[in-house]
Amino acid sequence: AQTVTQSQPEMSVQEAETVTLSCTYDTSESDYYLFWYKQPPSRQMILVIRQEAYKQQNATENRFSVNFQKAAKSFSLKISDSQLGDAAMYFCAYRSPGAQKLVFGQGTRLTINP
């Protein structure tokens, strides 16, 4: 069974600085999808970014980018120019192809200091 590990329960960063959230996963599959979800205080889960394992290029969405290291099974999220609205719980998630269920990590609570 696949597992996802987020080793940082909490992180904090100064506004406008850059922060990196870590995620590692364990799988024997060669093709899969990885996601970062954001859960603000409203509790609504929001997809931040996704990565397909067969793509070598790291995904980027505006200020959010990932460092996908397939051999190391690592999928970190970098947030540049942090904003107060980035404060939230962040979850890393894994999905097998052909399956719909997501396997989540433990979550990282990100605080942005003004």
Q: Which positions lie near other proteins, rule CB under 8 A?
A: 4, 6, 9, 33, 35, 42-45, 47, 50, 52, 91, 97-107
Pairing relation of β-strands 108-113 and 10-14? parallel
Question: What SS3 class is residue 37?
Answer: strand
Q: Given the complex with other proteins, which of 20 and 39 has the nearer CB atom?
A: 39
CA distances from 77 to 9, 68, 98 (A): 14, 9, 25
CB of 17 to other proteins, least distance (A): 26
CB of 13 to other proteins, least distance (A): 21
CB of 42 to other proteins, least distance (A): 7
